[in-house]
Structure 1
Amino acid sequence: MAAGFTIGLLLSPTGGALADPRPTVAQAKAKLAKLNDKADKVVDRYNTATEKHKEAQTRYTRLNTGYKRKLATVAELRSQVISMAVDTYKLGGDITSWPSMAGTDDPTFLLGGLALAGQISQERAQKLTAFDRENRGLKAERDKAEAALAEADKERDAVQKERSEVLKLVAQQRKLLDKLNAYNAGNPNSTGIKYNGPASGNAAAVLRYAYAQVGKPYVFGGTGPRGYDCSGLTQASWRAGGVTLPRTTWQQWAWGASRKVSLDALQPGDLIFSEGLGHVSIYAGNGQIVHAPQTGDVVKVVSLSAYGRRLVGAVRP
């Protein structure tokens, strides 16, 4: 990447005596590092909000489906009860009570009227009991579905808020990278490189997958196959190894609470987390990692010593 930093461009005068001087390479890189660190955390918040919205939407869909099913059941039972009322009327029931009974939406009134209409067979009694039971649960099902929808809407708003913040940071990163002539758009169709490291077992499958993504662009919220963010890459790679990881960096760290390993005892396939839990990478062995770094960069293999982020720990899935 160093070749991409055009020193002459950075240090050339701006053309005006009162203009601010261009930043030096070191200053620009320091500013970019701060932006990247901030973006890591905001992207993880965005991913977390997205996951919560998906969960809330799924819950609403399930509850609303149940409510509609119960609504259909109640409608069918009500039709049967009304049919019973008609039969009762034809057999000499109260001619003045039937119209109001048939038109009411109040199951208590309808059931009471039928109970007064005369002898009820066991079969009819079972239908009345079923109608009463299902109708009483209908409002509760509807209220649950409405509450779940409100929660889904709330989480959707949180996603939009975080997305706006991410887009603002991405614009700042892109502007700075363009000034440094260091923006790498990547290739969404990259076939990557071959992994020849020391991994074995499912870790080997993980790293073969991760290396096959090398050259694809970093995309915030990306889970592949055309682009990834850091936790999107680790999730997809470990899925190839037969292990289902949660989506976000924070979730992956929490998931691995009982699987933590020392940074001095890393093995290929281990997940390495940065301080603040804004970034995660995969240890490839031989002092190297593979990761999706940040906006304007691509999935790449670098040495752990050149990682550029303070580390907090590692997890072995």
Structure 2
Amino acid sequence: MLPLCGPPPDDPPHPRPDEGNVKLLVAAHRRPRQRSLSGGTARAAVTLALAGAATATCFDGVGQAAPQPTPTQVRARVDQLYREAETATQKYDGAKEKADAAARRLRTLGDEAARTQADLNSARDALGSIAAAQYREGEIDPAVRLMLSDDPRHYLESAEFAQRAGARQSAAVAGVRGRLRKIEQLRGAARGELASLTSRQAELRRHKKTITAKLDEARRLLSRLSPSQRAEVTGQDTGGSPVSSPTAHSTAPTARALGGPGSVTAPTSRAATAVAYAYQKLGSPYVWGATGPHAFDCSGLAQAAYRAAGISLPRTTYAQINSGRRVSRSDLLPGDLVFFYSGISHVGIYVGDGRMIHAPNPSAPVRLAPIDQMPFAGATRVV
């Protein structure tokens, strides 16, 4: 088979017509030779081959556009992307918490080093004054001073004072040395904190890149749907259910949180305050990494709600689940934190009647939702 690239090979050379092979040559010339492809014939063969390949491709359907995914497929993929983005968000939140702590420690070390440096400068100035005074007085043997003194008693008193001054000088030198050692220790600690901060900042950039990529893909998928399909996929239009009406129950949060008619009572006033705060934030937008007061991610909402109640919660879901006493699903009370998925990547605030308030994802604001909407992973009672 001839290659498609380059000219066809030349015919093999004929043997020399000597007497020993004349008969063979004659027989060979009587047989019809195969004509080799050359010039326009080869080009025609290539054109036909390419045309055939293109035709086959069209018939096989490879060149046709891929079919658009159905709303159900889009919803499944978008949900997966949001879960993956939320997992990355919790890692981002944890890294940011550690980066902020490293930055605070670095500032503290810098302030302490500045104070120590100021003390060192003062101690050095004092040593300089002592050294200058000694230089002016000269180094005279004490026995000679006693013999030459007009008033030996006065000299002895002066010698005792000089001895005390020498002790103070030694203490000053020791103080300078101690401050120098402390400054070196502070500088070493600062270098360690700076390395930690740099590492956390690189980790933040990696998680941010992951989150942004997944959310961008989810937005692209949703943009291909019609408005009604988008509403169906994001759960914004489900016949007026509590999930799709973020402000439907925002008029009486305190009564329900404190145990109004037909509701379950919050176990403490602080839990009731946290629930009331969550009700007040219904309809607030989801923004990854946000902790309020106007936008939240899921763990940011839980942290802000309990901050309003005077309780400091950790920043991430996988730390928040260990911030109180574990409770079973059957024993839930308003104010309990409820967690979802095997990786503990989502949290909501239980408000009673099998519902929670949570910050779902970028396509949905803070809202009420049933706790059986996602795979339940555990619950914690903070107070």
Assess same fold via TM > 0.5. yes
Match of 2:350 among 276, 283, 286: 283
The question of whether the paired residues in 2 share the 8 Å contact of 1:214 and 1:300 is answered with yes
Partner of 1:45: 91
Match of 2:136 among 90, 115, 118: 90
Aligned positions of 1:1-317 closer than 5 A: 18-93=64-139, 120-180=165-225, 181=227, 182=230, 193-194=250-251, 195=253, 196-197=255-256, 198=263, 199-200=265-266, 201-256=269-324, 259-275=325-341, 276-305=343-372, 307=373, 309-317=374-382
The question of whether the paired residues in 2 share the 8 Å contact of 1:218 and 1:298 is answered with yes
Partner of 1:10: none
Q: C-alpha separation between the residues in 1 aligned to 2:291 and 2:77?
A: 27
Structure 1 stretch displaced more, 212-221 or 167-176? 167-176
The question of whether the paired residues in 1 share the 8 Å contact of 2:94 and 2:316 is answered with yes
Larger Rg: 2
Backbone CA RMSD of aligned residues: 2.3
Q: SS where residue 99 of structure 2 aligns? A: helix
One-letter code aligned to 2:114: K
The question of whether the paired residues in 1 share the 8 Å contact of 2:338 and 2:378 is answered with yes
Q: C-alpha separation between the residues in 2 aligned to 1:93 and 1:154?
A: 57
Q: C-alpha separation between the residues in 2 aligned to 1:55 and 1:134?
A: 26
Q: SS where residue 166 of structure 1 aligns? A: helix
- Greater relative contact order (Cα 8 A, min sep 6): structure 1 or 2? 1
- Deviation string 1:157-190 (CA, Å, 9 cap, x unpaired) is 1111111111111211222233333378x9xxx9
The question of whether the paired residues in 2 share the 8 Å contact of 1:41 and 1:278 is answered with yes
Q: C-alpha separation between the residues in 2 aligned to 1:218 and 1:44?
A: 14
Q: Measure how far apart 1:191 and its partner are.
A: 12
Q: Measure how far apart 1:93 and its partner are.
A: 4.5
Q: Measure how far apart 1:139 and its partner are.
A: 1.2
Unaligned runs of 5+ in 2: 1-61, 141-161, 237-246, 257-262
Q: Percent identity?
A: 31
- Deviation string 1:110-167 (CA, Å, 9 cap, x unpaired) is xxxxxxxx95433333322222222232211211112211211111111111111111
User: Relative to structure 1, is the Cα distance of residues 17 and 141 closer, same or farther in structure 2, using a 3 angstrom cutoff?
Assistant: closer
Runs ≥4 in structure 1, deviation > 4 angstroms? none
Q: SS where residue 155 of structure 1 aligns? A: helix
Q: C-alpha separation between the residues in 1 aligned to 2:356 and 2:299?
A: 14
Q: Measure how far apart 1:238 and its partner are.
A: 1.5
One-letter code aligned to 1:211: Y
Q: Measure how far apart 1:75 and its partner are.
A: 1.3
Partner of 1:115: none
One-letter code aligned to 1:243: I
One-letter code aligned to 1:125: S
The question of whether the paired residues in 2 share the 8 Å contact of 1:203 and 1:241 is answered with yes
Q: C-alpha separation between the residues in 1 aligned to 2:104 and 2:248?
A: 34
Partner of 1:99: none
Q: How many residues align?
A: 271
Structure 1 stretch displaced more, 197-206 or 133-142? 197-206
Q: SS where residue 53 of structure 1 aligns? A: helix
TM-score by length of 2: 0.66
- Deviation string 1:251-293 (CA, Å, 9 cap, x unpaired) is 101323xx00001111111111012111000111012111000
One-letter code aligned to 1:297: A
One-letter code aligned to 1:267: L
User: Relative to structure 1, is the Cα distance of residues 264 and 298 closer, same or farther in structure 2, using a 3 angstrom cutoff?
Assistant: same
The question of whether the paired residues in 1 share the 8 Å contact of 2:338 and 2:349 is answered with yes
Q: C-alpha separation between the residues in 2 aligned to 1:28 and 1:191?
A: 28
